[in-house]
Structure 1
Amino acid sequence: MPVQSANLRQRPPAPADDWALFLDVDGCLLDFSDTPEGVIVPPALPVALGALSRRLDGALALVSGRALASLDTLFAPLHLPAAGLHGLERRHGDLLVSPPAAPAALDGILDEARRLADKYPGTLVEDKAPAIALHWRAEPLAAADFEAFAMAALLALPGYRLQHGDHVVELRPARADKGDAIAAFLDEAPFRGRLPVFAGDDLTDEHGFDIVNARGGVSVLVGAREASAARFHLDNPSAVRAWLAAATGDAAT
């Protein structure tokens, strides 16, 4: 994964009609909250995304760590092509790729994780079956214990891996990632034959940046993180929303 120096990254070009556009959600389209349920969707954002999707003939997809059901709730009434759970599930038209079933051991690990979280008010254990996410944004002192717990739990979950993110670590099946999901979309109409563009903020988005870069596309890092394969940069979700809204004339900030 080549790393682009932060001071060499420039603002991405304006969205063009030949793009296949892929967008992360938390930390990219939406500002972070202490809990996944606490994020705020600006009312104009679904309108802007819908307009941009129509401009791109439907070649716009959300690529997120959230489940598809959560994405649909956030952006209702939009029902966009999307990849959820970091690529473990994917929806495009009549195609629905479902995540694998959770192993029996995951129930006990989930209970243990919740008991650990009880020691740290403000933390959250998110059941994303077949994955578990441990969030500590509201209580950074929990980070070491949550990381150690996840490492130990991994030993009881063959075929799983750790997915580190911004104030979160996930136990998840070691299958598809965001790059795999983007590559699958690019093999299908209307994404096929277009210039791939992906904007994201977190470590989980690096797989997507690699796929987009390999195909001569536009990779956009959102936020202040330094080491990344992304070749372009936007400061924060507000800048992302403004970048997208300018392409349609809508105010999505």
Structure 2
Amino acid sequence: MDTGKVYFIGAGPGDPDLITVKGRKLLEEAEVIIYAGSLVSKEHFKGCREDVKLYDSAAMTLKEVIDTVMEAKESNKKIVRLHTGDPAIYGAIKEQMDELDKLNINYEVVPGVSSFTAAAASINKEFTLPSVSQTVILTRMEGRTPVPEKENLERLASIGASMALFLSVGMIEKVVEKLRKGYGRNVPVAVIQRATWEDQKVVIGTLDDISKKVKEANITKQAQILVGDFIDCEYEKSLLYDENFTHMFRKGKNENSNN
């Protein structure tokens, strides 16, 4: 681990064991860690150095984060910026990296397990089922942060692909309204709050009843909304393991019988 260099690390969705091996090793060496508040499990810090300095970024501005990095760099410290999930998805890391570029501070991004894949795992589902959907859309409802008009939820839903909505469960009724217009029919929906955490909640339904179920479960934040037929449907089996399908690592059954 280089001193004075910033390591943006994805901590994973919640379970501390879901951080990568590389991410954990860097955390153990870090002398300064700026972490994403309550979204990151404190269990991650149990293996850290005794003299590590921890900064909760929940109450910090971008300037304060960069100032903290600058101070650590000037002291030749080993620095980690710890984000939840994977930092490349709604992680607001681009603006941080731009500031570091201006200051000629080196950095590296270490990917992590995203909450959308953790949510699918929590209900034992696969987003990309043959004959159902081979596309996954990651998006969110517009709130205080706007969404480009061309990415309107109704428009995206009209594609019929599997979907994972971030940062939107607090507007579940509006989400359902837009999804219904886009899909044009009733489709399965799963809402997973704090996937992989010990207090994880899972609610499964359809566009017809998911709003009611979410309210009954008192889910208001920190949840993934998964939408699409992949949650409950018939599907074709993959050709990958079909005995008659040939690829570079395996000959098909019929091909072998002709030899």
TM-score (norm 1): 0.31
The higher-RCO structure (CA 8 Å, 6+ apart) is 1
TM-score, normalized by length of structure 2?
0.30
Structure number, greater radius of gyration: 2
